[in-house]
Amino acid sequence: MAQSRKSLISLQDTPYYHCISRCVRRSYLCGYDHTTNVSYEHRKSWVENRLLFLSSIFAIDICAYAVMSNHIHIVLCVNKSAALSWSLDTVLRQWHKIHRGTLLTQRYLKGEVLSDVEIEAVKETADIYRKRLFDISWFMRELNEHIARKANEEDECTGRFWEGRFRSQALLTEKALLSCMAYVDLNPIRANAAKSLNDSVYTSIYTRLFCPSKNKKTQGLIPFKGEKRPKNKKYLNLTLKQYCFLLSDSIAALTNSLPKNSTTSSEVQNVERVIIDTTSPEWLQTISSFENLFSFAVGNTASMLAFKKRTNRKRMACIKSAAVCFDD
């Protein structure tokens, strides 16, 4: 049974969420369709470019993403405090980059003289836009509708491109966040679409490391510790080098090339407050089946019980499997 998005998202518990959208009937509408022998690979760049563009509009940063042939994975970080700190003019300008707004908001930004009543109406409208600009549902809507319209125009057809709803998973702890990021960035390797990070195109880790225009594109990605970041922007609590070690060890574990008695890279072990043993069977299971292993919330027992209480739930799905992976 479908659940309301309000019951799946609690910014008081975590700003981090894993979102998944699948093509209708899971068709290869963003890849090579072997049934029709038609390639839609170019659409992956549509998704990637739109995704990074929207991050510059919304108060939502991207931790990780992977654009696959029939689905996309995105790990988002909602920066509500940044949206609330934006001025009235900033909110309107941000929204007008993707929508026309109203006649009054257009006149306001042009500097036209408005009456007190009209200014109040502009403020009320801006409050609506402000809430949308840190809303995950609106973010995914702006992404999916744009791609659907563009693909339908190319195919000269109408109808659904994506499944009706996107799935979301709340990432309640730092370890759950890193696990999900690794799961997302390793999608092409796990699907045998790539052999290493070097050819894992249309993923966040490829953009961070190898994209020729990465300086421009990484503006939409949340920075790692030690990287330059704009004011009020959050950052990931490990360095890019540490994260690459984590991914490298994980690839070795996935391909069975890691010796059984080897230890996790020292760079990974030194991540502040997060110790991940990439040789453990729990880690292998997590990076192999994160989406199916856990339900709408992922974390240790304490964080999941807190999420359950905050969202007024009677039950908490997959709490035992999460406890095995994330309880210290």
DSSP 42-72: HHHHHHHHHHHHHHHHSSEEEEEEEE-SSEE
Pairing between strand 297-298 and 32-33? unpaired
**Largest separation between any pair of C-alpha atoms in the chain:** 74
Q: Are residues 161 and 262 in the same domain?
A: yes
- Report if residue 247 sits inside a domain: yes
Q: Are residues 109 and 235 in the same domain?
A: no
- Residue 282: give the domain boundaries: 12-82+135-326
Q: Are residues 175 and 297 in the same domain?
A: yes
Q: Are residues 92 and 176 in the same domain?
A: no
**Tokens 């809507």, residue?**
141
Q: Are residues 156 and 243 in the same domain?
A: yes
3-state SS assignment for residue 70: coil
**Tokens 């540490």, residue?**
242
Contact criterion met (CB below 8 Å) for 55 and 62: yes
Q: Are residues 237 and 157 in the same domain?
A: yes
Q: Are residues 216 and 262 in the same domain?
A: yes
User: Tens digits of per-residue pLDDT, 23-64?
Assistant: 997 788 898 887 788 899 999 999 999 999 999 999 999 999
Residue 57: per-residue pLDDT: 96
**CATH code: domain of residue 322:** 3.30.70.1290
Whole-structure pTM over 0.85, yes or no? yes
- Report if residue 6 sits inside a domain: no
User: Tens digits of per-residue pLDDT, 123-163?
Assistant: 999 999 999 999 999 999 999 999 999 999 998 988 889 98
Q: Greater confidence, 229 or 246?
A: 246
Tokens describing residue 243: 């994260």
Q: Which residues of 25-35 are buried (b: 16+ CB within 10 A; e: fewer)?
A: eebbbbbeeee
Tokens describing residue 165: 């709803």
- Report if residue 5 sits inside a domain: no
- Report if residue 321 sits inside a domain: yes
- Report if residue 1 sits inside a domain: no
Q: Based on the structure, what is the number of domains in the chain?
A: 2
**Confidence band of 274 (pLDDT split at 50, 70, 90):** very low
